[in-house]
Amino acid sequence: MITPAFVPFGGANFQAKGVDEAAVTVLPLPYECAPSYGIGSATGPYHILDASTQMEAFDEELCCDWTRLPIFTARPPLLARTPEKALAQIQAAAAAILNKNKPFLALGGDHAVSIGLLREVARLHPDAAVLQIDAHLDLRHTWNGSTLNHACVMRRVADDIGLEFAQVGIRSFSAGEWELVKQRGYRPFMAHEMDEKGLWMQELMDRLPEKVYLTLDLDGLDPCQIPGTGTPEPGGLTYRQTLDLIKLVAKQKTLVSADVVELAAFAGSQVSQYTAARLCQKILLYCFGKHIC
């Protein structure tokens, strides 16, 4: 599949001049290393950015022009192929934004990018918690020869980074991961236990502190909503459930930053990248653009 050229999120016409002038920075991170199944997440940021230029500027729920939000889209960094070096580069990219007291929305890339991002988030916001939307627990200590693999993200958060976390939409994991959940008393929101009325969402909000970092692995949604991901697990969240959760976070918490990861677009369909772009637009508007509507 042909990788689109880099374009700013939503197009170049309304972009802020830089991080200082922006309300939020979009940070593309084209990284993929040792995937478990399907490949293609390294080009995910380019596909999301390209799809974002096709969205209407008018938000249908708030009935306002979301492009009034000053967004700066950073150029994708040239990332090393080894996890250790790449994640150090990603942490530095996050620091360049967070040190200016500005939030980011990072676009993966595979889920391992969150490790580098969260190292820096934890340094500046040690009182924040991670809200993970995902099909998988990602609690393996090591996978495919590395402790910095996408399947180890939340294990690194728990053991190395030291942030609290809540997991939503879980429906695939190993016996070892489940044993760890029981030993440590983690309470993931399992997909098959999440009632359709959304009562679980307020329970989730009650568990989280004031500051939240959102990591949205697109395989957390059902593959009928987003088929273009490396590990499409059936039985996930709907688009509407995901939006309801984003809106609740925006209403009740302070989102310090976020990432959207694991898009693996494929030829012949624009559904996955366009849906991912719309989710990004909603995060930008609801969580970082309340003042414009």
Residue extents of the structural domains in the chain: 24-292
Cα gap 77→88, rounded to integer Å: 12
Mean pLDDT for the stretch of residues 133-150:
95
The DSSP letter of residue 177 is: H
The CB density around residue 248, as the number of other CB atoms within 10 Å, is: 16
Share of the chain above pLDDT 90, in %: 91
Given a contact cutoff of 8 angstroms between Cβ atoms, the answer to whether 210 and 254 are in contact is yes
Cα gap 3→270, rounded to integer Å: 13
pLDDT digits (tens, 9 = 90+) for 212-251: 999 999 999 999 999 999 999 999 999 999 999 999 999 9
Average pLDDT, the chain: 95
Given a contact cutoff of 8 angstroms between Cβ atoms, the answer to whether 200 and 244 are in contact is no
The CB density around residue 96, as the number of other CB atoms within 10 Å, is: 16
What CATH number was assigned to the domain covering residues 24-292? Answer: 3.40.800.10
| H or E element, residue 175 | helix 175-184
Q: Is the peptide bond before 109 cis (omega within 30 degrees of 0)?
A: yes
Given a contact cutoff of 8 angstroms between Cβ atoms, the answer to whether 216 and 281 are in contact is no
What band does 105 get if pLDDT is binned at 50, 70 and 90?
Answer: very high
Cα–Cα distances (Å) from 53 to 102, 186, 227, 254, in that order, read: 24, 40, 21, 27
DSSP helix/strand/coil, 262: coil
Whether residue 34 has pLDDT greater than 80: no
Global pTM?
A: 0.97
What band does 1 get if pLDDT is binned at 50, 70 and 90?
Answer: confident
pLDDT digits (tens, 9 = 90+) for 64-86: 999 999 999 999 999 998 999 99
Cα gap 176→259, rounded to integer Å: 27
Longest dimension (CA), the chain: 52
The DSSP letter of residue 285 is: H
For residue 291, with 0-12 CB atoms within 10 Å meaning exposed, 13-18 middle and 19 or more buried, which class applies? exposed
Q: What is the pLDDT of residue 293?
A: 84
For 140, the token pair is 């393996």
| H or E element, residue 93 | helix 83-98
Closest CA to 232 of 275, 145, 171: 171
Q: What is the pLDDT of residue 38?
A: 66
Given a contact cutoff of 8 angstroms between Cβ atoms, the answer to whether 231 and 38 are in contact is yes
Given a contact cutoff of 8 angstroms between Cβ atoms, the answer to whether 161 and 87 are in contact is no
